[in-house]
Amino acid sequence: MTSEVEHSSVKQQNHLVPRTIWDKLYLSWFLVCFLMVWFGTWAVNKPIPIFGMPLVYVWCSGWGIVWLSGCLYFGLKIDKDDAADREN
């Protein structure tokens, strides 16, 4: 209980603010890819085949894979940094 009361006097941290460069890159990558699918799709809304598939489908799926791959990379970097910090 003592530690709880002690902690309540510590200034509250804002968890919405990214801490490290990798946090910022994760968030930026997330937003860019999200916007590409959310708004960008309307710019490619044409009945054109790409590898035999509709352009809208290829655009969304392609950005989905880019989105996942990039965030996986940055997320693993965040994990690695966190692990190193905890060891120190």
Q: Which residues bind other proteins (CB under 8 A)?
A: 1, 3-5, 7-8, 10-16, 19, 30, 33-34, 37-39, 41-42, 45-47, 49, 51-54, 56-57, 59-61, 63-65, 67-68, 71-72, 75-76, 79, 82, 85-86
Please give the Cα distance from 45 to 24 (Å, whole number).
Answer: 31
- 71 neighbors 60 (Cβ within 8 angstroms): no
Specify the residue, 21 or 82, whose C-beta has the smaller distance to other proteins: 82
Specify the residue, 24 or 57, whose C-beta has the smaller distance to other proteins: 57
Please give the Cα distance from 37 to 23 (Å, whole number).
Answer: 21
